[in-house]
């Protein structure tokens, strides 16, 4: 018997059913949509924070290999560039460690030393691409110690002998601290040129690091907070468009001192290879640098002991008092905590201190010969 025959109105039945079950269906629908949106947000967030794989040199579709390279203990390759006299004839052998956003081509001490000084003293310099930069393979497992061991292995494979000098600029200066910690027995001397500070080194008084930290631009304060407290967000933070990313990554003019700006034309020649610096990707070069440099260190440089207690070598730290990237007040504190370091503070100089007239020669002669600085 049909519904109509029983006097049942189908439209009314539908309305009654909806009235009874409709609100519960709407709640369920809202709940399901919320879950879907949440899943979508999580997927987007994961994709946004997960950097693309590096475009490794020599891989299919990757950049070409043009530099000489050594193969390291773990299978990675390290690209290098030699300067000065041949290592077979050299009296002094120096490994130079480049700074943030640079490469083996940015060896200021090699570019600024006169050929006469190089030949007279017999100086050999080798610069190399730190992991992820230029043509050196990325190292997702990079640590402070692994960088020092890379340098030791580079020296061994190039036959530099049992002892050598290390010179590091900016972020490369942080690597020199690691060399002093882990391979000091291989060093004849070391120079740190405007070495970048980690504001979380426990040896600093809290009030001093707070003062120095707030001398930075606000976006750099946030970029370093992310690198230290949430390194897994480093890629997203420095590529997103919602907030200003690191001014250092963006190379904003505010980060340079008056002297730095004047020196910029001298750097133009070295900028020819600028595109090669991050050709394998920004994460394993720039952002990995930030995570390692401003993460939690397993040692405090201010706890280091003099690696040359008998005067068989020396450690020098060079700093401009107008450096806008590395606060001079923190370098002064380090020099007081470590009296065995030869501290050289240059009035009127900024971060690009090694490119100022006469500075490279002064830095090298102080390191190799113990000469006192006499700048006009």
Which tokens belong to 348?
């009127």
Confidence at residue 374, expressed as pLDDT on a 0 to 100 scale: 54
Please report, rounded to a whole number, the percentage of residues in the chain having pLDDT higher than 70: 86
Query: What are the pLDDT digits (tens) for 224-271?
Result: 999 999 999 999 999 988 888 899 988 899 999 999 999 988 877 667
Confidence at residue 250, expressed as pLDDT on a 0 to 100 scale: 87
Confidence at residue 273, expressed as pLDDT on a 0 to 100 scale: 80
Q: Is the pLDDT of residue 371 over 90?
A: no
Contact by Cβ (8 Å): 82, 126: yes
Q: Report residue 81 CA to chain centroid gap.
A: 20
Q: Among the listed ranges 34-43, 149-158, 186-195, 328-337, which one has the minimum average pLDDT value? A: 34-43
With tokens 């269906």, the residue in question is: 25
Query: What are the pLDDT digits (tens) for 271-316?
Result: 778 889 999 999 999 999 999 999 999 999 999 999 999 999 999 9
Could you give the CA distance from residue 337 to residue 344 in angstroms, rounded to a whole number?
15
Lateral strand order in the sheet of 314-320: 69-71, 77-84, 123-128, 92-97, 164-169, 187-193, 314-320, 342-346
Confidence at residue 19, expressed as pLDDT on a 0 to 100 scale: 41
Which tokens belong to 187?
């060093």
Contact by Cβ (8 Å): 302, 201: yes
Q: What are phi and psi of 114, to 5 degrees?
A: -70, 145
User: Can you tell me the mean pLDDT for 101-119?
Assistant: 94
Q: What are phi and psi of 44, to 5 degrees?
A: -65, -45
Contact by Cβ (8 Å): 257, 322: yes
Contact by Cβ (8 Å): 169, 268: no
Query: What are the pLDDT digits (tens) for 10-31?
Result: 444 344 444 444 555 777 667 7
| C-alpha angle 103-349-124 in degrees, rounded to nearest 5 | 40
Q: Is the pLDDT of residue 116 over 80?
A: yes
Contact by Cβ (8 Å): 71, 146: no
Radius of gyration of the chain (CA): 28
**53: Cβ contacts below 8 Å, ≥ 6 apart:** 281
How would you classify the pairing of strands 314-320 and 164-169? unpaired
Confidence at residue 20, expressed as pLDDT on a 0 to 100 scale: 42
Q: Among the listed ranges 30-44, 64-78, 167-181, 278-292, which one has the minimum average pLDDT value? A: 30-44
Q: What is the 3-state secondary structure (H, E, C) of the chain?
A: CCCCCCCCCHHHHHHHHHHHHHHHHHHHHHHHHHHHHHHHHHHHHHHHHCCCCCCCCCCCCCCCCCCCEEECCCCCEEEEEEEECCCCCCCEEEEEECCCCCCCCCCHHHHHCCHHHHHHHCEEEEEECCCCCCCCCCCCCCCHHHHHHHHHHHHHHCCCCCCEEEEEECHHHHHHHHHHHHCHHHEEEEEEECCCCCCCCCCCCHHHHHHHHCCCCHHHHHHHHHHHHCHHHHHHHHHCCCCCCCHHHHCCHHHCCHHHHHHHHHHHHHHHHHHHHCCCCCHHHHHHHHHHHCCCCCCCHHHCCCCCCCCCCEEEEEEECCCCCCCHHHHHHHHHHCCCCEEEEECCCCCCHHHCCCHHHHHHHHHHHCCCCCCC
Confidence at residue 34, expressed as pLDDT on a 0 to 100 scale: 72
Confidence at residue 355, expressed as pLDDT on a 0 to 100 scale: 94
| Residue 161 region by backbone torsions, left for phi larger than 0, else alpha for psi between -120 and 50, else beta | left
Q: Among the listed ranges 90-104, 150-164, 232-246, 282-296, which one has the minimum average pLDDT value? A: 232-246
Query: What are the pLDDT digits (tens) for 317-348?
Result: 999 999 999 999 999 999 999 999 999 999 99
Q: Is the pLDDT of residue 64 over 50?
A: yes
Arithmetic mean of pLDDT over the chain: 89
Could you tell me the CA-to-CA distances from 64 to 45, 244, 275 in Å, in that order?
A: 33, 33, 13
User: Can you tell me the mean pLDDT for 160-189?
Assistant: 98
26 vs 83, higher pLDDT:
83
């Amino acid at each position: 018997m049909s519904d109509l025959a029983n006097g049942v109105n189908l439209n009314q039945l539908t309305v009654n059913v909806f009235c009874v079950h409709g609100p519960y269906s709407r709640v369920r629908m809202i709940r399901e949509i919320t879950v879907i949106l949440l899943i979508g947000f999580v997927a987007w967030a994961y994709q946004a924070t997960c950097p693309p794989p590096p475009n490794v040199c020599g891989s299919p579709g990757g950049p070409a290999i043009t530099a000489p390279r050594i193969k390291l203990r773990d299978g990675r390759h390290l690209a290098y560039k030699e300067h000065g006299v041949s290592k077979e004839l050299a009296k002094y052998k120096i490994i130079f460690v480049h700074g943030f956003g640079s490469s083996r081509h940015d060896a200021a001490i090699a570019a600024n030393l006169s050929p006469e000084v190089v030949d007279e003293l017999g100086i050999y310099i080798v610069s190399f691409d730190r992991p992820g930069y230029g043509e050196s393979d990325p190292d997702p497992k990079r640590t402070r110690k692994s960088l020092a061991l890379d340098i030791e292995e580079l020296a061994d494979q190039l036959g530099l002998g049992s002892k050598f000098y290390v010179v590091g600029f900016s972020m490369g200066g942080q690597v020199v601290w690691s060399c002093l910690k882990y391979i000091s027995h291989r060093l004849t001397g070391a120079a740190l040129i405007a070495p970048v500070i980690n504001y979380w080194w426990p040896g600093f008084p809290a009030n001093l690091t707070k003062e120095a930290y707030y001398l930075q631009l606000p976006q750099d304060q946030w970029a370093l907070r992310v690198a230290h407290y949430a390194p897994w967000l480093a890629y997203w933070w420095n590529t997103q468009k919602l907030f200003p990313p690191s001014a250092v990554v963006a190379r904003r003019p505010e980060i340079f001192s008056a002297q730095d700006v004047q020196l910029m034309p001298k750097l133009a020649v070295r900028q020819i290879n600028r595109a090669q610096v991050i050709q394998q990707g920004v994460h394993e070069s720039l952002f990995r640098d930030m995570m390692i440099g401003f993460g939690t260190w397993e040692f405090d440089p201010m706890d280091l002991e003099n690696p040359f207690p008998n005067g068989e070598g020396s450690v020098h730290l060079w700093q401009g008092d107008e450096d806008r990237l590395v606060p001079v007040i923190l370098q002064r504190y380090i020099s007081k905590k470590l009296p065995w370091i030869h501290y050289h503070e240059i009035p009127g100089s900024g971060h690009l201190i090694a490119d100022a007239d006469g500075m490279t020669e002064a830095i090298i002669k102080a390191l190799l010969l113990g000469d006192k600085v006499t700048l006009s």
